[in-house]
Structure 1
Amino acid sequence: MTTRDDATALVLRMQECFNSRRFDQAAGLFTPGFFSHPLGAPGFEAGKRAWHALVARYPGIRVVAQDIVADGDKAAVRSTVEGITAPDGDARPMLFEIFRIDDGRFAEMWGVSAGFPPEAAPEDVVAG
């Protein structure tokens, strides 16, 4: 079972790898069979390509966890996204993610975004 402290530390390590652009260091945080449901793709490499695409479009992007809730092998995370101008002064963009954790590493991820400018949601940046 994953404790709240373990889940919190894992999420914060992942976000630090993203925010510091040390993408290769994040690879060890994911199981070999990791699956990203939003990307519809297996493996950490698909997520790494998505991170590169976001950073290329938004060089100042940063993700900051606001809430992390753990229950069993799942962790739910609500994060604000900095470095992207929200349309018409709306609230800061947010990510809502649920991770399944297996043996201290991310095994699966589900997620949605809110408040991004048109055609700037993470799913659109990666697909575009």
Structure 2
Amino acid sequence: MTTREQARTLILRMQECFNTRRFDEAADLFTPGFRNHPLGATGFEAGREAWRQVVARFPAMRVVADDILVDGDKVAVRSSVEGMTAPGGGARPVLIEIFRVADGRLAEAWGVTEGPDPRR
């Protein structure tokens, strides 16, 4: 069973790997069968490739967890996106993600982006 603090640390480590572009290190944070519902993919490889594409487009992009809520094996995260200019000077995107944790690793993810989607 993953504790609240372990789940919170897992999310912060994932964001640190993204923000420092150490994508390969993030692979250890995910289960081999990790299910990424927004990408419709299984395994961390699709997520790693999505990360590479988004930072190629927005090299200064960073994510910062504003809220991390843990309930059982689920972790909900609201994150601000920094380092990207919103079209027309509008609001920066906000990521809302829910992860399922299994055996201390991220096993499943759902997510939506509020505001401009950095993937597009």
- With the shorter chain as reference, the TM-score category is over 0.9
Instruction: Give me the whole-angstrom Cα distance separating, in 1, the residues matched to 2:58 and 2:76.
Output: 25
Opposite residue 57 of structure 2, the aligned amino acid is R
What does residue 90 of structure 1 align with?
A: 90
Give the share of equivalent positions with the same residue, in percent. Answer: 67
Tell me the distance in 2 between the aligned counterparts of 1:109 and 1:101: 9
Q: How many residues are aligned here? A: 120
Aligned to 1:110: 110
Q: How does 1:24-43 map to 2 (within 5 A)?
A: 24-43=24-43
Cα separation, 1, equivalents of 2:41 and 2:109:
10
Structure 1 gaps of 5+ residues are none
What is the CA distance between 1:121 and its match in structure 2? 3.5
Separation of aligned partners in 2, 1:75 and 1:4: 9
| 3-state DSSP of counterpart to 1:60 | coil
Unaligned runs of 5+ in 2: none
| Counterpart contact for 1:4–1:70, Cα < 8 Å | yes
Separation (CA, whole Å) in 2 of partners of 1:14 and 1:25: 9
What residue number does 2:69 align with?
69
- Aligned-CA RMSD value: 1.1
Q: Over residues 11-51 of structure 1, what are the superposed CA-to-partner deviations in whole Å (9 max), with x where a residue is unaligned?
A: 00000000000000000000000010000000000000000
1:2 counterpart SS class: coil
Q: Tell me if structure 1 keeps the 8 A contact 2:54–2:118.
A: no
TM-score by length of 1: 0.89
Paired amino acid for 2:44: F
Report the Cα offset of residue 86 of structure 1. 1.7
Aligned to 1:47: 47
